[in-house]
Amino acid sequence: MADMEKDYNPDIVTLSDDDGKEYTFEVIDAIESDEGRYLAMLPVFDDPQKMLEDSGELVIVKVGEENGEEYFYEIEDDDEYEFVADTFIERLQDFFEIAEQE
């Protein structure tokens, strides 16, 4: 009998801030629109205590490309961010408990 379970292979991304500090995230969803490609990510922690202390908020970034290299940056336009965040929330609310923010 064949094993029907799928192996879980998360898409892990490590990002560095301006000070060189690295943060690790798991990509949980991606969307593409006329405006570009976006990723919704959650922080990954080695220390279970830090995971419990985390807010659990989605981190949403826009994907860009320069000289064949992919890079991620913050969405600075509020309307664009709201549209993308709402789209991710709609797509993910069946899988995650997502609290609506006012």
Instruction: Give the domain range for residue 19.
Output: 11-92
Tell me the pLDDT tens digit for each residue of 8-62.
677 898 888 889 888 899 999 999 988 899 999 998 887 777 766 767 678 999 9
Tally of domains within the chain: 1
Q: What is the mean pLDDT of residues 86-92?
A: 89
- Report if residue 48 sits inside a domain: yes
In a domain, 6, yes or no: no
What span, in angstroms and rounded, lies between the C-alpha atoms of 25 and 43? 4
Q: Which of 79, 50, 18 is nearest to 42 (CA)?
A: 50
